[in-house]
């Protein structure tokens, strides 16, 4: 087999211990940001791509793969960056992808100690392994942002639409969510321990973008998300308009919740992503070990399917589907 190496691997990559936008000249910068050390005393470094515009403007941070197996955000960022030019940019775009480097290398959601980083923010400088890593992400990277777009996907055994979680009572976050025109927007307060919640506590306008399914690079969702992020930069006055997109048909939800099983078996979920469900409509069934329908589940109220389980192995308390209740929060 013959492979060709188009770009020298070590070209113009700077090793840094903290993002310092002030000292960077306008232009494109490839950084490796140290976030800790591994068991061989080697630094754990996340790739951070900075495009600092020639004109002043806000700092927009984009993070992907805080959950290591949530990959779609990475090609989304790559696609966005190919079309950004420092000469035309007002402000700075900082993209860190993947953020959870140990998890990414293991194809796993969690950090190397098995903990979910996105429940541990803002982290602790003297805590356990994942708390220290979360703290480094906040202090060395995220606190320097004015805006945060945190890219995720569904978890293992589940699938998601292209949807945004944002606190829609915050006007700046709500506008940002709407201009990205995802398939669905769900009003949701950044809960304790999430990167979004910790960033909001620092006054950073933050939203979470959920892009489809884990451990995948899904072409259409990547293209749509990348175009949406570009529209977000345009909305913030950082880039000029390039291409007109079709008018959004985003469904807004004032709240959402998961339905769970109350038993175990083989789970069959009937609707598809983005289907609209009537109240009382059958949405799933559990088959017992003899092949008989064991339990059936109905939608407790009308809504739209935001995400759903695909893993058929259910125990008591397994997720069935994520139902969004339509409506705008003012």
**Residues 228, 234, 239, 242, Cα dihedral to 10°:** 60
Least distance CB 46 / Zn ion (angstroms): 16
Q: How many residues bind Zn ion (CB under 5 A)?
A: 3
The interface region with Zn ion, picked from 16-24, 120-128, 149-157, 320-328 by CB under 5 A, is 149-157
Backbone angles phi, psi at 138, to 5 degrees: -65, -50
Return d(Cα 6, Cα 307) in angstroms, integer: 39
Span from 45-53, 127-135, 146-154, 255-263 in contact with Zn ion (CB under 5 A): 146-154
CB nearer Zn ion, residue 139 or residue 215: 215
Q: Which is nearer to Zn ion, 117 or 321 (CB)?
A: 117
**Which residue lies nearer to Zn ion by CB, 116 or 200?**
116
Whichever of 68 and 91 has its CB closer to Zn ion, that residue is 68
Per-residue contact string for residues 68-97; x = within reach of Zn ion by CB under 5 A: --x---------------------------
How far apart are the C-alpha atoms of 289 and 86, rounded to whole Å? 60
- Is there binding between residue 135 and Zn ion (CB under 5 A)? no
CB of 212 vs Zn ion, minimal distance in Å: 12
* CA 207/CA 200 separation, integer angstroms: 9
Q: Is residue 49 at the binding interface for Zn ion, with CB under 5 A as the rule?
A: no
Cβ-based nearer residue to Zn ion, 70 or 167: 70
Please say whether the beta carbons of 130 and 113 come within 8 A.
yes
For the chain, the C-alpha Rg in angstroms (whole number) is: 21
Task: Rule CB under 5 A: choose which of 52, 67, 158, 216 binds Zn ion.
Answer: 67
Q: Which position's Cβ is nearest Zn ion?
A: 152
Helices (H), 47-191: 73-82, 101-105, 129-140, 171-180
Q: Which is nearer to Zn ion, 221 or 283 (CB)?
A: 221
Choices 65-73, 140-148, 188-196, 259-267 (CB under 5 A): range interacting with Zn ion: 65-73
- Nearer Cβ to Zn ion (215/281): 215
**What is the distance between the alpha carbons of residues 210 and 95, in angstroms, rounded to a whole number?**
16
- Residues 304-326 as b/e (b if ≥16 CB within 10 A, e otherwise) read bbbbbbeeeebeeebbbbbbbee
User: Taking CB under 5 A as the rule, does residue 158 contact Zn ion?
Assistant: no
- Taking the least distance from each CB to Zn ion, the nearer of 57 and 102 is 102
CA-nearest of 149, 200, 173 to 329 is 173
CA distances from 7 to 29, 78, 79, 204, 230 (A): 15, 15, 17, 35, 26
Nearest distance, CB of residue 88 and Zn ion, angstroms:
32
Cβ distance to Zn ion smaller for residue 166 or 299: 166
Query: Which of 49, 52, 152, 158 forms a contact with Zn ion (CB under 5 A)?
Result: 152
Q: Which stretch binds Zn ion (CB under 5 A): 31-39, 98-106, 147-155, 183-191?
A: 147-155
Structure tokens at 78: 């790559």
- 24-32, 60-68, 254-262, 277-285 -> range binding Zn ion (CB under 5 A): 60-68
Distance CA 235, CA 57 (A): 12
Least Å distance, CB 158 to Zn ion, is 11
228 Cβ contact list (under 8 Å, min separation 6): 179, 180, 181, 182, 209
Which stretches of the chain bind Zn ion, using CB under 5 A? Answer: 67, 70, 152
């Amino acid at each position: 087999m013959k492979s060709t190496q188009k770009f020298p691997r070590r070209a113009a990559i700077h090793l840094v211990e903290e993002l310092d936008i002030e000292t960077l000249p306008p232009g494109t910068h490839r950084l490796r940001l140290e976030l800790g050390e591994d068991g061989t005393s080697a630094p754990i470094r996340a790739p951070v791509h900075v495009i600092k515009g020639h004109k002043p403007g806000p700092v927009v941070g984009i993070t992907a793969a805080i959950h290591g197996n949530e990959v779609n955000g990475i090609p989304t960022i790559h696609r966005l960056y190919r079309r950004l030019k420092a000469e035309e940019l007002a402000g700075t775009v900082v993209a860190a992808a993947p953020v959870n480097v140990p998890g990414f290398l293991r194809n796993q959601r969690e950090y190397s100690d098995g903990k979910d980083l996105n429940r541990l923010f803002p982290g602790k400088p003297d805590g356990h392994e994942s708390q220290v890593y979360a703290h480094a992400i906040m202090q060395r990277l995220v606190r320097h942002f004015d805006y945060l777009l945190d890219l995720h996907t569904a978890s293992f055994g589940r699938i998601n639409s292209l949807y945004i979680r944002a606190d829609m009572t915050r006007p700046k976050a709500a506008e940002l969510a709407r201009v990205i025109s995802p398939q669905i927007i769900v009003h949701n307060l950044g809960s304790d321990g999430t990167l979004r919640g910790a960033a909001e506590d620092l006054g950073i306008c933050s939203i979470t973008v959920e892009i489809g399914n884990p451990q995948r690079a899904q072409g259409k969702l990547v293209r749509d998300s990348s175009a949406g992020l570009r529209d977000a930069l345009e909305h913030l006055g950082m880039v000029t308009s390039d291409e007109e997109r079709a008018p959004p048909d985003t469904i807004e939800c004032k709240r959402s919740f998961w339905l769970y099983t109350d038993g175990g078996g083989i789970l069959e979920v009937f609707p598809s992503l983005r289907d609209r469900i009537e109240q009382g409509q059958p949405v799933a069934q559990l088959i017992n070990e003899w092949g008989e329908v064991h339990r059936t589940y109905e939608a407790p109220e009308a809504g739209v399917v935001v995400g759903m389980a695909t893993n058929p192995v259910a125990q008591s308390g397994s997720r069935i589907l994520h139902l969004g209740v339509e409506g705008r929060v003012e």
